Amino acid sequence: MLVAVASGKGGTGKTTLASSLALVAAEKGKVIFLDCDVEEPNGHIMLKPRWEKKEAVRVPVPEINQEKCTFCGRCAEICAFHALVVLPQEVLLFPTMCHGCGGCWHLCPAGAISPGWREIGLVEEGSSEGIGFVRGRLNVGEAISPPLIEAVKERCRPGELNILDAPPGTSCPVIRTVKGADFCLLVTEPTPFGLHDLELACEMVASLGVPCGVVVNRSDGDDRLIRQFCQQNNLPLLLQLPHDREVARGYARGIPAVKVRPEWKEYFAALLSFIEEGGCTGARTGGAQREGRHGQDYRLRESGRTGSR
Amino acid sequence: MKVAVCARESHINSPVDQRFGRCPYFVVVDVDSGDWEGLPNTGCHSGGGAGIQTAQLLVNAGVKAVLVDRIGPNAMEVLARAGIQVYEGISGTVSQSVEAYRQGHLKLLSQPNSPRHSRRGRS
């Protein structure tokens, strides 16, 4: 099973949630943590894996035979990403703009372009306390991360719980991470910024056809903004993690939330069972029903919530 | 000799545009005869690589110099390799900028004067 942890807004707690979820899942079964935020991976700070192997990831890039080239300009004309410029006596390539689509080497009338390879980053694998760990690391200055994210996702293990820690936002790298997941947890914070970006993230996940549920981090105990949005959109609000100074202190020192607050483990366990028992279909067809069944198990601040009504 | 100026509109009295890759038009002026023509910048709506595409347009148009306010590293590299001179410091209208160029008031650029645009996002 593939569970993606994403958020529209950055800094809401994706890695906090994903790392604690992995630790709790590892007590029951096999789990692998895949850090798909290849531009700024940080899951290793929480889970501290021992590295076992690494592999370079390459993407195709045009190689131009200047002797065969007639400088007709066709390649620059068809390049949708403006990676090629044809001067009167020279062809310039901007490798970081290239998406490796192959249009230029297929369409060059002089047959002067052939595919070459260019390294864009690394996939590293290891393990931590029984948790499989994979992360991608994009080389500095590279612009295009989806092929590296794809290489990370190729390390998913069927039959195990695969937790994909996504980059923030709603752009291509996030889409590449969430696409094909069985469930997506959207982490947010109870602020207007959190709500705004949650709305964008929900649209993105819906258009990918991936069922999702919402987790509020740094909950104020009420989270009215987020709660209303979830109700209006029939989204399950799965977990409200309190704003906790000790957890924040632990985070700053690279200590996962459930190690600071072992009593939180049961909430992560309930969240996992919700997803594994078909939260997927429940969330898609009607979150409210699911909420009713599981609500009290995984809500941390049930009393705060009802008390405010 | 043909000189291109970054412009908001397609005529000689247009206000100049501060951007290179994203300016909607160039006004191409023949500094010897004073003739001019508007050149729509087909690169200005591209998702990414606007500066590169715009530089290719000017290479194809056969200009020898371009007058700009700001220009980034990719465009600068293309123009430098193509032997097109880049002058900075335009203001007011296209005709005022061409006059400043004629009088030697604009500075010849050898390095980009604007940072690379953010590449995070659609890729």
How are the residues of chain A apportioned to helix, strand and coil, as percentages rounded to the nearest 5? 40, 25, 35
Domain count along chain A: 2
Same domain, A85 and A167: no
Q: Examine residue A148 and state whether it is found in any structural domain, yes or no.
A: no
Same domain, A72 and A217: no
What pLDDT was estimated at residue B46?
Answer: 82
Same domain, A67 and A21: no
Q: Examine residue A144 and state whether it is found in any structural domain, yes or no.
A: no
Same domain, A194 and A268: yes
Same domain, A188 and A72: no
Contact B102, B31 (CB under 8 A): yes
Q: Examine residue B83 and state whether it is found in any structural domain, yes or no.
A: yes
Query: Residues B20-64: pLDDT tens digits?
Result: 999 999 999 999 999 999 999 998 888 888 999 999 999 999 999
Q: Cα A58 from chain centroid?
A: 21
Domain count along chain B: 1
Query: Where residue A221 sits, what CATH number does that domain have?
Result: 3.40.50.300
Phi, psi of A193, deg, nearest 5:
-65, -45
Q: Pull the structure tokens for residue B101.
A: 């160029």
CB contact under 8 A, A85 and B123: no
- When scoring A82, A139, A175 by the number of chain B Cβ atoms within 10 A, the one with the most, hence best to mutate, is A82
How far is B78 from A84, CA to CA, in rounded Å? 10
CA distances from A101 to A2, A78, A115, A147, A242 (A): 28, 11, 10, 12, 46
Q: Examine residue B104 and state whether it is found in any structural domain, yes or no.
A: yes
Q: Examine residue B119 and state whether it is found in any structural domain, yes or no.
A: no
Residue B1, judged by CB atoms within 10 A of its CB (0-12, 13-18, 19+), counts as exposed
Neighbours of A37 (CB within 10 A): 25
Q: Examine residue B79 and state whether it is found in any structural domain, yes or no.
A: yes
Same domain, A178 and A288: yes
Same domain, A164 and A115: no
Q: Examine residue A101 and state whether it is found in any structural domain, yes or no.
A: yes
Same domain, A79 and A228: no
Query: Residues A164-199: pLDDT tens digits?
Result: 999 999 999 999 999 999 999 999 999 999 999 999
Beta bridge partners of A161: A31
Q: Examine residue B27 and state whether it is found in any structural domain, yes or no.
A: yes
The CA angle A295-A191-A221, to the nearest 5 degrees, is 40
Query: Where residue B38 sits, what CATH number does that domain have?
Result: 3.30.420.130
Range of the domain at A100: 60-119
What pLDDT was estimated at residue A292?
Answer: 36
Angle subtended by helix axes A192-208 and A224-232, to nearest 10: 30
Q: Examine residue A143 and state whether it is found in any structural domain, yes or no.
A: no
Contacts of B59 (CB under 8 A, 6+ apart): A85, A86, A87, A88, B78, B79, B82, B84
Same domain, A173 and A301: yes
Element (H, E) at A53: strand A50-64
Range of the domain at B104: 2-109
Q: Given CB atoms, is B121 within the 8 Å cutoff of chain A?
A: yes
Locus of tokens 């003739």? B35
Contact A131, A52 (CB under 8 A): no
Q: Examine residue A131 and state whether it is found in any structural domain, yes or no.
A: no
Percent of chain B with pLDDT over 90: 82
Element (H, E) at A124: strand A113-128
Q: Is A214 helix (H, G, I), strand (E, B) or coil?
A: strand
Same domain, A166 and A294: yes
Measured between CB atoms, which of A73, A76, A143 is closest to B123?
A143
Q: Is A86 helix (H, G, I), strand (E, B) or coil?
A: strand
Task: Indicate the pLDDT class of residue B119, thresholds 50, 70 and 90.
Answer: low
CA distance B100 to chain A (A): 29
Contact A31, A161 (CB under 8 A): yes
Q: Examine residue B117 and state whether it is found in any structural domain, yes or no.
A: no
Q: Examine residue A115 and state whether it is found in any structural domain, yes or no.
A: yes
Q: Given CB atoms, is A36 within the 8 Å cutoff of chain B?
A: no
Contacts of B109 (CB under 8 A, 6+ apart): B68, B71, B76, B86, B87, B88
Q: Examine residue B49 and state whether it is found in any structural domain, yes or no.
A: yes
How far is A224 from A210, CA to CA, in rounded Å? 25
What pLDDT was estimated at residue A309?
Answer: 29
Taken in order B59, B62, B64, B70, the sign of the CA dihedral is: negative
pLDDT under 70: residue ranges of chain A: 279-309
Q: Examine residue B115 and state whether it is found in any structural domain, yes or no.
A: no
ipTM: 0.85
CB contact under 8 A, B46 and A82: yes
Q: Examine residue A37 and state whether it is found in any structural domain, yes or no.
A: no
Query: Where residue A70 sits, what CATH number does that domain have?
Result: 3.30.70.20
Same domain, A100 and A220: no
Q: Pull the structure tokens for residue A263.
A: 């009593």
Same domain, A71 and A191: no
CB contact under 8 A, A85 and B59: yes
